């Protein structure tokens, strides 16, 4: 029997995502000036106020208030009428030194013996239903908000847009898990005040359906464009007026959008957030590593869909184990347990090995802090950082290295396909 599946996304101007982006901007700046930095930082944003807290061990000295303000302004909170803007909001820092009790379990004289920064389990997932091996409902939800932000920044159409927004897509699947059509699309976007609420709702709905959705649809391959039809149920700003938004409408915290950050409810999630954590924290690095494994496995044709789990004990070098679920889609004559064993032979999942393989001690995290950490474009970009003392660093870094399909040949060889 056909079934419906839904995923959501939130914009870069959503309060929780503002917090994530500030925390990851701090991570990037610490790593730019000291690759060995150990950082776990949290951000809170609310009406007129940003609070930075957490633990740091680093040789870098940063103007954390300046970094936070730059992030807020870049997102688009630049007007006093938003009741939260980068130039005038208060920024309080309560960042202190990392506990030596935790650090002793992680650092080793031999870097390869680095222990896991925490216990827990992490999941990676991939499916071949999209070109970037991501679940379709989440991919479309992200694309809607990315395009909405482009429209806001272009300032030519939908000139009333403000930074806060959410999207949601519901897709009907057939019994064989093939997308059939889009059942519903939800978009809630913050906006300037209108003289008439009725006119506001009419204008926003028309612009979303006639301007935004065609721009999203044009990015898709033909078979996915066919999922759009005249029967889609659109819920545009379904509660009505959405002028008060952002941190003034809802307090934001780092790490509260972990499903948006990953797979939109497909696969599984171990519960640990990513933003604000340096790569010694396996919550982050091992989640990226398992995504890297899952994507290369599906791209190699081992399965149409795969979930990979890894688990750790704090301070222990080797993972507790690797679990695999191919949901019955495996293309090789092996059990999921046998596939898991083979994966452990191909991929070194010790924390230091993950950091090295994926080049995670580089300042590459700000870009991941909005619109999902997975399914993004792997590319090399130039970045510039300025320390509190005025020291300037320019460097080239590789973004989203966990999205590379650089192990496909090794996987094929190992599995004999």
Confirm whether residue 367 is marked as ligand binding: no
Confirm whether residue 242 is marked as ligand binding: yes
Confirm whether residue 17 is marked as ligand binding: no
Confirm whether residue 166 is marked as ligand binding: yes
Sign of the torsion formed by the C-alpha atoms of 199, 201, 204 and 207: negative
Count of beta carbons in the 10 Å neighbourhood of residue 373: 25
Confirm whether residue 180 is marked as ligand binding: no
Axis-axis angle for helices 408-415, 282-299 (nearest 10): 70
Contact 149, 295 (CB under 8 A): no
CA distances from 372 to 5, 84, 210, 261, 365 (A): 18, 24, 26, 4, 11
Beta bridge partners of 394: 384
Confirm whether residue 250 is marked as ligand binding: yes
| φ and ψ of 290, to 5 deg | -70, -30
Confirm whether residue 406 is marked as ligand binding: no
Distance CA(402)–CA(410), nearest Å, equals 16
Confirm whether residue 162 is marked as ligand binding: no
- Order of strands, edge to edge, in the sheet holding 321-325? 120-127, 305-312, 321-325
Confirm whether residue 85 is marked as ligand binding: no
- In sequence order, the 6+-apart residues with CB closer than 8 A to the CB of 330 are 302, 303, 336, 339
Count of beta carbons in the 10 Å neighbourhood of residue 333: 8
Give the pairing type, strands 38-46 and 252-253.
antiparallel
Confirm whether residue 241 is marked as ligand binding: yes
Going by C-alpha positions, the residue among 259, 351, 284 that lies closest to residue 23 is 284
Confirm whether residue 164 is marked as ligand binding: yes
Confirm whether residue 81 is marked as ligand binding: no
Distance CA(291)–CA(348), nearest Å, equals 14
Confirm whether residue 273 is marked as ligand binding: yes
Annotated binding site for L-methionine: 55, 98, 250, 281
Annotated binding site for ATP: 14, 164-166, 241-242, 250, 256-257, 273, 277
* Binding-site residues for Mg(2+): 16
Query: Known binding site: residues?
Result: 14, 16, 42, 55, 98, 164-166, 241-242, 250, 256-257, 273, 277, 281
Which amino acids are annotated as binding site for K(+), given as ranges? 42
């Amino acid at each position: 029997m056909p079934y419906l599946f839904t995923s959501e996304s939130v914009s870069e101007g959503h309060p929780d995502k503002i917090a994530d982006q500030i925390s990851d901007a701090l991570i990037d700046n610490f790593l730019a000036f000291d690759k060995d930095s150990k950082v776990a930082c949290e951000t809170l944003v609310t009406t007129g106020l940003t609070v930075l807290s957490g633990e740091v061990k680093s040789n870098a000295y940063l103007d954390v208030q300046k970094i936070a303000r730059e992030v807020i302004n870049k997102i688009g909170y630049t007007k006093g009428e938003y009741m939260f803007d980068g130039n005038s909001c208060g920024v309080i820092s309560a960042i202190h030194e990392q506990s030596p009790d935790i650090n002793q379990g992680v650092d080793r004289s031999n870097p390869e013996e680095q222990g896991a920064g925490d216990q827990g389990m992490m999941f990676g997932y991939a499916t071949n239903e999209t070109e970037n091996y991501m679940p379709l409902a989440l991919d479309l939800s992200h694309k809607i908000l990315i395009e909405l932000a482009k429209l806001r920044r272009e300032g030519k159409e939908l000139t009333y847009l403000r930074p806060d927004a959410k999207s949601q897509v519901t897709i009907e699947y057939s019994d064989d898990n093939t997308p059939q059509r889009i059942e519903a699309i939800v978009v809630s976007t913050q906006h300037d005040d209108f003289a008439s609420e009725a006119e506001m709702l009419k204008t926003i709905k028309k612009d979303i359906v006639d301007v935004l959705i065609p721009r999203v649809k044009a990015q898709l391959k033909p078979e996915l464009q066919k999922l759009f039809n005249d029967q889609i149920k659109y819920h545009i700003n379904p509660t009505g007026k959405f002028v008060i938004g952002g941190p003034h409408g809802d307090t934001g915290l780092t790490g509260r959008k972990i499903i948006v950050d990953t797979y939109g409810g497909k696969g599984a999630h171990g519960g640990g957030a990513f933003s604000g954590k340096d790569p010694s924290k396996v919550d982050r690095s091992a989640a990226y590593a398992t995504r890297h494994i899952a994507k290369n496995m599906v791209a190699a044709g081992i399965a149409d869909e795969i979930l990979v789990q890894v688990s750790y004990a704090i301070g222990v070098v080797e993972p507790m184990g690797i679990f695999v679920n191919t949901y019955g889609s495996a293309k090789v004559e092996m059990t999921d347990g046998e596939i898991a064993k083979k994966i452990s032979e191909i991929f070194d999942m010790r924390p230091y090995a993950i950091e090295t393989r994926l080049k995670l001690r580089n300042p590459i995290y700000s870009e991941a802090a909005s619109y999902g950490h997975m399914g993004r474009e792997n590319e090399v970009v130039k970045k510039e950082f300025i320390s509190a003392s005025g020291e300037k660093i320019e460097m080239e870094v590789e973004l989203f290295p966990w999205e590379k399909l650089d192990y496909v040949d090794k996987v094929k060889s190992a599995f004999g396909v």
